[in-house]
Amino acid sequence: MEYPVHETFHSWQGEGDHSGRSAFFVRLYGCPVHCRWCDSAGTWHPDYVPEKVDRIDAAMIAAAAAAVKSDLVVITGGEPTIHDLGPLTDAMRERGLKSHLETSGAFQIRGSFDWITLSPKWRSTPLPESLAIANEFKLIIEDEGSVRKWVETLGNSIDKRSVWLHPEWSVRKDPRILESITEFVKKNGAPFRAGLQGHKYYRADLLDRNSANPSPLGGNPMLGY
């Protein structure tokens, strides 16, 4: 089984329950969701996707992951679950590696994962089965009303699993958004947790020469989203 690979690199997980842990990232091409603020638009946006996309065998990807000292392997995108990830997670397991998934939850999850981060998007609807098996939620907070809207939308899916509230990167300094997260966490407590993309402050991903150049949209209407 071969996969269209945008980049593989060694860094650390900057988000969620596993923040700060050494991680090998596998970022795959393809995403039907098309968020206007996407920070990995190189996986799908016509202004960024190259003419030739490398397709790499699952065993080779797992070998690259095993060659570095990391606590976990994060399979992300784009939207990785548009691909059958079973052969890839099998190859990781054969190497004794732990596979983590980052997904919008809108497509069937195929593969065996040790951890699933579900980050729902407004342009897609998470599948009930994806909501049920997620280990944590990551909500992108775009404006001061986002927290309330997401909580109403997810409803009974919210239980004791961590619900991370992340300011969207291009508005990370907006005091209205930061205050909305702070006040919500103070008022409601667990399972809601204030979050951020810590790896970006460190520029950790960019220290690996194999990582791709950043291609964030940041809600730029000139790019069509």
Cβ contact 40:46 at 8 Å:
no
pLDDT at 51 over 70: yes
In three-state form (DSSP H/G/I as H, E/B as E, the rest C), the secondary structure along the chain is CEEEEEEEEEEECCCHHHCCCEEEEEEECCCCCCCCCCCEHHHCCCCCCCCCCCEEEHHHHHHHHHCCCCCEEEEECCCHHHCCCHHHHHHHHHCCCCEEEEECCCCCCCCCCCEEEECCCCCCCCCHHHHHHCCEEEEEECCCCHHHHHHHHHHHHCCCCEEEEEECHHHCCCHHHHHHHHHHHHHHCCCEEECCCHHHHHCCHHHCCCCCCCECCCCCHHHCC
Q: 146-164 pLDDT, tens per residue? A: 999 999 999 999 999 999 9
Q: Does domain 2-223 have CATH number 3.40.50.1010?
A: no
Q: What pLDDT does residue 77 have?
A: 96
At residue 223, does pLDDT exceed 90?
Answer: no
Q: Where are the domains of the chain?
A: 2-223
pLDDT in tens, 2-26: 999 999 999 999 999 999 999 999 9
